[in-house]
Chain A
């Protein structure tokens, strides 16, 4: 029985791989070797991981390391030349671009949505309510029609691009209470919210799945479609940044993200493809 199950799994795996891979997209890596270092934005990681896996499985001489840290880290480290590709979930500032001579490659569009635990009956909020919650003025779910439990806020650290977009466009630059718990990545945010029934936080729309419930903001749900047609305003691009024009493996990798296979992958991981 288990054997059959495993076989089926393997078959399923092969099929998914096959649908992702358009003929020839991986060929440009042929004969390449060496190491590619990627770090920064944590919203990017699921796409990066699968892309790296596909490349490495086809061409075992290539090594790709993927680290998180946040958008700020990605921009800074690629600027300092510590890594080859820095990921950012926000645009680099003009100062950053001119200081380091950065080139941005936007390969997906994403939104940032507030999320709560699926058990929470509160799933619709207005911008004012959201501001109230995150500033700490609204401290109990009862005030919003939920259970009589304190609201547990989850925030990201300052290096996060997700946070800066959410703060700018979602909270309209309102204060965030310093009492919020701080988690280091999109994945960690999702994990924290799904484990805590009285929590609220925000994640990249691409990361929203069954384990968390998206909160409708001013009547617009944070879904891929709403991001695509522009009605969900808390949207942003996902960027991969290189110092100067991309070269060598970094160029091939970014080209791969823009190839049909790469863009399929972007869609499969819950983002809006740019091509």
Chain B
């Protein structure tokens, strides 16, 4: 019996470690395949030049800029929407409606990305082309509008969780002082729950940065350095999807592994920053209801 207990523990450990270690294996694999480019001494040039395979220039700077612009713009569009929706579900809406709102928002988190892209191609792109921007309608702004909708549920759920985890006595105190909902939000909930808000924003950023289909379908994929948000642009993720078809032994093909590495490093930075936020927020809000920390049970 003892044996079974021990071996189960070992099995579980192996499973956990194994899945974790795969991540490191992936990093190595991509570094290995992207090595010819990194090694050729053009690593810096990769992030500073333009993409022009015919001129033997494989800079991925336009894609990095494209990714950053689309992501930040999506966040810009999504934030007002997400905070408002979180306020509605937590403070403003009639109680009977709140549950429904929350369920609808959670449902939105599960809608397939490709369906959003599909609908946007036939609904949003012609609209953009005719009424808002000159050009084809496939542009950075089109993609970021759709991405804003895509990342909103993630952020809303975090905002709501953050507000719910503000200790009850505080809320009761503020309520008994006769605070109106928005006063409660601005003077109590926001200052108390801001670390969770930030975590939500960072996760939203990660989702926007990591999404492939929306930018591939809607951003136009041109390789030029975008000069305005109404122009067509290409993200790192879309670049991978497009160049995967190239010749295996070419330098172009190698760049997609550099793109993959860049995206991975970006994801790691985001998670580390969340950890840091978590750390700063410790003792205040986050740990009150976070089931992950055994020490505080």
Contact = CB atoms under 8 A, between A and B. Distances in A.
Physical contact A–B (CB less than 8 Å): yes
Interface in A156-175: 157-159
B223 interface: yes
A149 B134 contact: yes
A187 interface: no
B52 A178 contact: yes
B215 interface: no
A155 B231 CA distance: 15
Contacts of B78: none
B138 interface: yes
B50 interface: yes
B245 A159 contact: yes
Interface residues of A, number: 28
Contacts of B222: 155, 178-182
A184 B245 contact: yes
A178 B51 contact: yes
Main secondary structure of the interface of B (DSSP, over half): loop
B135 A72 contact: no
A182 B136 contact: no
B132 interface: no
A179 B231 contact: yes
A178 B223 contact: yes
A198 B129 CA distance: 10
B36 interface: no
A178 B61 CA distance: 13
B245 A196 contact: no
B50 A178 contact: yes
Contact of A152 (B135, B234, B242, B246): B135
Contact of A196 (B137, B221, B246): B137
A76 interface: yes
B64 to A, nearest CB: 15
Interface residues of B, number: 28
A51 interface: no
- Select the residue from A70, A177, A181, A199 with max chain B CB neighbours within 10 A: A181
Contact of B246 (A72, A154, A178): A72
A181 B247 contact: no
A6 B222 CA distance: 44
A156 B249 CA distance: 20
A72 B247 contact: yes
A72 B136 contact: no
A205 interface: no
B138 A178 contact: no
Interface string B182-225: 00000000000000000000000000000000000000111110
List 4 tightest A-B contacts by C-beta distance, closest first: A178-B224, A152-B136, A182-B221, A179-B224
15 contacts: A72-B247, A75-B247, A152-B135, A157-B245, A178-B50, A178-B51, A178-B52, A178-B62, A179-B231, A181-B232, A182-B220, A182-B234, A182-B242, A184-B245, A192-B136
Interface of A: 69-70, 72-73, 75-76, 80, 149-150, 152, 154-155, 157-159, 177-184, 192, 195-196, 198-199
Given A72-B247, A179-B232, 17 more contacts: A72-B246, A150-B135, A154-B136, A157-B242, A158-B243, A159-B245, A159-B246, A159-B247, A178-B62, A179-B231, A181-B232, A182-B221, A184-B242, A195-B126, A196-B129, A196-B137, A199-B136
